[in-house]
Amino acid sequence: DTGVSQNPRHKITKRGQNVTFRCDPISEHNRLYWYRQTLGQGPEFLTYFQNEAQLEKSRLLSDRFSAERPKGSFSTLEIQRTEQGDSAMYLCASSWTAEAFFGQGTRLTVV
Amino acid sequence: LAKTTQPISMDSYEGQEVNITCSHNNIATNDYITWYQQFPSQGPRFIIQGYKTKVTNEVASLFIPADRKSSTLSLPRVSLSDTAVYYCLVGVYGGATNKLIFGTGTLLAVQP
């Protein structure tokens, strides 16, 4: 296992389009997190899964954002009707114990 | 969740010991203290976690006083490759709400 994998690594989209990102966690990890990070800021919590259950979702996440983790394995984060303010790095992390392992992120640019 | 306060930036030279202090005055009884490191264009990487007193691993030490209202990450003999942003996080490990909340972190710049 090579760690947390995120795809795509980069995505450029036009404003108003929908985008979907995928995260493949480390296989035995039951917890999965999504974060968003903009330049000069720390990662901002978006949502958290334990197995397939989405236990928490940030109020910062508008109705345009949705995340799923079917069967408690990989996860997808979808952004509908993208806006320029959605441009950021989207990070996924997984954990089994106290240590969370992060992927390299998907950089989204909305033009 | 307890809020954390760290210096925005720190400078050091190669070979020196670096201590980064984090304040968390409202830490709860069940909260652990965790530090992450982040390089540009990469996800954060776990460094160390502790609850009280001192924890040491192969890369760092974490000092936590008795009142637990602050903690200090100690990096021995830093090198240029330790230039990164360091985040202090406080939260319950293993609880129903164990999301990781990051602040703005401390940018450590190591110079030759």
The per-residue pLDDT for range B39-62, each reduced to its tens digit, is 998 999 999 999 999 999 999 999
Asked whether residue B97 carries a pLDDT value surpassing 70, the answer given is no
**Contact residues on chain B for A35, CB-CB shorter than 8 A:** 102
What letter would DSSP give residue B96? S
Q: Which residue has the tokens 């450590």?
A: B108
The per-residue pLDDT for range B1-39, each reduced to its tens digit, is 568 999 999 999 999 999 999 999 999 898 899 999 999
- The total of other beta-carbon atoms located within 10 Å of residue B41's CB is 10
Asked whether residue A103 carries a pLDDT value surpassing 90, the answer given is yes
pLDDT of res. B96:
46
Asked whether residue A60 carries a pLDDT value surpassing 80, the answer given is no
Which residue of chain B has the CA closest to A98?
A: B93
pLDDT of res. B100:
80
- Write the residue in A41, A56, A93 that is nearest to B97 by C-beta: A56
What are the b/e assignments for A64-83, b being 16+ CB within 10 Å?
Answer: ebebebeeeebbebebeebe
- Which of the two residues, A7 and B101, has the higher pLDDT score? A7
pLDDT of res. A97:
81
- Which of the two residues, A50 and B73, has the higher pLDDT score? B73
- Write the residue in A44, A98, A104 that is nearest to B42 by C-beta: A104
Banded pLDDT at B98 (limits 50, 70, 90): low
Look over chain A and give the mean of its residue pLDDT values, rounded to a whole number: 93
